[in-house]
């Protein structure tokens, strides 16, 4: 496959991944599909959600490179050595964005969600925080990822552990694939810059 066609394939493949990253981050802003948690200054949201890894990192910082990368595979001003050189720079931006989304999502999964939970047996000790992360910091960490019974510690929002795990896992997969594709394009752009885009070849 020539470098131009490869770039077009990579650019087109990035679009659905960008969409998935943005949508997953948007859903994370509304646990239990309610507005009340984001309306409360975001204090009841998992902090990593507010870093907008999916919207900024896996979304916008990959969308702009995707547009240019795809353009290098079409007949036009970008389908040349200069366009391929620029695609290396754009792909590097995509790498940075996808890494940002990937790291934020992994951190969120490890630390667990922010939720309303009980500090003890007394119902008056109900508070908002990150019970699984607090256990991690106090070296009493029982891996909540494998201990599903611990998920009941979160009283509100309903099923927030499953909600966060599912959406952040989707973001991890999407940003991981984005990272691979943008890295491939950096090498493809280098070859295209040196050897051309095959635009005049059958």
- Rounded to the nearest integer, the mean pLDDT of the chain is 85
Neighbours of 63 (CB within 10 A): 18
How far is Cα 117 from Cα 125, in angstroms, rounded to an integer? 8
The confidence band for 41, taking pLDDT boundaries of 50, 70 and 90, is: low
**Average pLDDT value for residue range 178-198:** 85
From 8-17, 134-143, 185-194, the region with the lowest mean pLDDT: 134-143
**Scanning the structure block, which residue is given the tokens 């309303």?**
116
From 12-21, 86-95, 130-139, the region with the lowest mean pLDDT: 130-139
The residue among 200 and 25 whose pLDDT is bigger is: 25
pLDDT greater than 60 at residue 99: yes
Q: Which of 105, 10, 21, 142 is nearest to 67 (CA)?
A: 10
Give the predicted TM-score (pTM) of the model: 0.87
Strands 126-129 and 115-118: antiparallel
From 82-86, 109-113, 164-168, 185-189, the region with the lowest mean pLDDT: 82-86
Quick one: pLDDT at residue 70? Answer: 86
**Number of residues that make up the chain:** 202
Quick one: pLDDT at residue 92? Answer: 95
* 65-88 pLDDT, tens digit each: 999 888 887 766 666 778 788 889
Q: Are 153 and 142 in contact (CB under 8 A)?
A: no
* 118-170 pLDDT, tens digit each: 876 666 678 888 888 876 665 555 678 888 888 888 888 888 999 999 999 99
Quick one: pLDDT at residue 25? Answer: 95
β strands within the chain, DSSP E: 115-118, 126-129, 154-156
The alpha carbon of residue 107 and the mean position of all alpha carbons in its chain are separated, in whole angstroms, by 11
Strand order across the beta sheet in which 115-118 lies: 126-129, 115-118, 154-156
Quick one: pLDDT at residue 202? Answer: 42
For residue 169, count CB atoms less than 10 angstroms from its CB and return exposed for 0-12, middle for 13-18, buried for 19 or more.
middle
How far is Cα 7 from Cα 118, in angstroms, rounded to an integer? 52
């Amino acid at each position: 496959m020539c470098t131009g066609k490869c770039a077009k394939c990579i650019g087109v493949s990035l679009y659905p991944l960008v969409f998935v990253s943005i949508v997953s981050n948007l859903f994370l802003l509304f646990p239990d599909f309610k507005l009340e948690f984001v309306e409360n200054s975001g204090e009841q949201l998992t902090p990593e959600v507010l870093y907008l890894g999916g919207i900024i990192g896996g979304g916008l910082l990959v969308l702009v490179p995707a547009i240019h990368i795809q353009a290098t595979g079409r007949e036009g001003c970008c389908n040349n050595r200069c366009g391929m050189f620029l695609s290396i720079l754009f792909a590097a931006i995509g790498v940075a964005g996808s890494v940002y989304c990937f790291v934020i999502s992994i951190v969120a999964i490890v630390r667990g969600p922010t939720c309303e939970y009980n500090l003890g047996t007394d119902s008056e000790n109900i508070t908002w925080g990150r019970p699984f992360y607090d256990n991690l910091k106090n070296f009493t960490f029982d891996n909540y990822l494998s201990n599903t019974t611990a998920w009941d510690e979160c009283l509100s929002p309903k099923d927030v552990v499953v909600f966060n795990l599912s959406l952040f896992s989707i973001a991890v997969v999407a940003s991981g694939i984005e990272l691979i594709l943008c890295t491939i394009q950096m090498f493809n752009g280098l070859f295209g810059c040196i050897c051309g885009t095959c635009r005049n070849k059958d």
